[in-house]
């Protein structure tokens, strides 16, 4: 049996502009700096302000409400896997997520899942290849208030998020290496700032609608990677092992195996019935660490979320 395994023969010096391996190092430096900044802010802020935050009364409007969030979205995705090729794959993506959340001025707690799908394309040297990507992420996040000004216009929160992200990628052009699977369990340090932008007075004498603008940053603190070795094709498939034993034969678990960073800019409009609309722009990126078969992926998404109030107390 003859095995066909395609490896790119394109030297880094011949890559198109913007596709040199140095781009990955810049992303790594950005993630490392952001991780340090988020961890420093969280540690400094929680100490002096945590006790004071507990004495601040809850907002009479939002309270500690429970919500069901449903959020569709669309955007752009980009990935590169040095296990098979140094070329970038780019294209449009669609996203759907759902979450159960408890939102209030003193804390945010959220548990949810998201699915991102897309067909990413690489077109180089008159050769086009497509990679169909499905990314599933499960998260649980807890943020606690660390500071709020007396006018209650600004609210600062910090906390952590546990996240498990898995990818399934299918690229028929890679023949025996067509299927790629990886998983990244990550603990994020999280910092969020919210600004109340509600009008002082409503139009035509009506009560003004509650509005807020928030920005959140997640930076990886603890992480691991579970992915293939240099080739997608493990020895288990060569000797005809079946099931998961054959599929995941050459997979490796690596502690501290990935750097990740994500940001989200949210505009939220609250309705009189305590339901809400949230319009968001999100950016996510992660890169494996010190691996000769590095994997990099980033996505930009525009999202709309419906927030259904189930309990207000």
H helix runs in the chain, sequence order: 22-53, 235-238, 243-247
On whether residue 3 sits in a domain, the answer given is no
| pLDDT greater at residue 175 or residue 93 | 93
Does residue 105 lie in a domain region?
yes
Is 6 part of any domain?
no
Q: Is residue 173 part of a domain?
A: yes
In degrees to the nearest 10, what's the CA dihedral of 191, 268, 284, 67? 80
Residue 273 CA: distances (Å) to CA of 62, 201, 311: 11, 19, 11
Look at the chain and report how many structural domains it folds into. 1
Question: Would residue 5 count as lying in a domain?
Answer: no
- 117 within some domain: yes
Could you list the residue range(s) of the whole structural domain that residue 272 is in? Answer: 19-311
Residue 282 lies in a domain: yes
Residue 72 lies in a domain: yes
What's the rounded Cα separation, in Å, for the pair 259 and 157? 23
Of the listed ranges 66-75, 199-208, 223-232, the one predicted with least confidence: 199-208
pLDDT of 38-90, one tens digit each? 555 544 444 444 434 333 333 444 556 899 999 999 999 999 988 777 889 99
CA distance 272 to 277: 12
| 209 contacts 271 by C-beta, under 8 angstroms | yes
Higher pLDDT: 20 or 236? It is 236
Check which CATH number belongs to the domain holding 246 and give it.
2.40.128.90
Report how far apart, in Å, the C-alpha atoms of 199 and of each of 31, 207, 209, 269, 311 are.
37, 9, 8, 12, 26
Nearest CA among 97, 86, 32, 55 for reference residue 259: 32
pLDDT in the model for residue 174: 80
* pLDDT, tens digit, 9 for 90 and up, residues 105-117: 899 999 999 999 9
Amino acid 29: pLDDT: 62
């Amino acid at each position: 049996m003859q095995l066909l395994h395609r490896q790119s023969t394109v030297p880094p010096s011949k890559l198109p502009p913007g596709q040199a391996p140095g781009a990955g190092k810049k992303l790594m430096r950005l993630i490392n700096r952001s991780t340090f900044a988020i961890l420093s802010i969280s540690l400094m802020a929680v100490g002096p302000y945590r006790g004071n935050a507990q004495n601040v009364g809850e907002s009479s409007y939002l309270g500690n409400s429970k919500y069901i969030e449903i959020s569709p979205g669309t955007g752009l995705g980009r990935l590169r896997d040095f296990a098979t090729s140094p070329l970038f794959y780019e294209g449009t993506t669609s996203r759907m997520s759902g979450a159960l959340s408890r939102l209030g001025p003193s804390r945010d707690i959220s548990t949810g899942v998201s699915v991102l799908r897309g067909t990413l394309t690489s077109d180089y040297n008159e050769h086009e290849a497509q990679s169909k990507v499905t990314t599933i992420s499960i998260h649980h996040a807890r943020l606690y208030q660390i500071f709020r000004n007396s006018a209650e216009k600004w609210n600062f929160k910090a906390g952590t998020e546990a996240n498990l992200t898995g990818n399934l990628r299918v690229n028929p052009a890679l023949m025996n290496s067509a299927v790629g699977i990886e998983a990244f369990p990550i603990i994020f340090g999280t910092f969020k700032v919210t600004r109340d932008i509600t009008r002082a007075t409503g139009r035509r004498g009506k009560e003004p609608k509650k509005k807020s603008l928030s920005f959140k940053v997640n930076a990886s603190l603890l992480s691991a990677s579970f992915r293939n070795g240099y080739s997608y094709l493990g020895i288990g498939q060569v000797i005809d092992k079946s099931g998961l034993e054959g599929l995941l034969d050459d997979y490796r678990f690596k502690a501290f195996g990935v750097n990740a960073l994500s940001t989200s800019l949210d505009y939220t409009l609250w309705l009189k019935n305590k339901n809400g609309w949230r319009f968001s722009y999100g950016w996510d990126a992660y890169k494996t660490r010190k691996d000769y078969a590095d994997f990099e992926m980033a996505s930009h998404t525009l999202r709309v979320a419906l927030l259904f109030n189930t309990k207000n107390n």
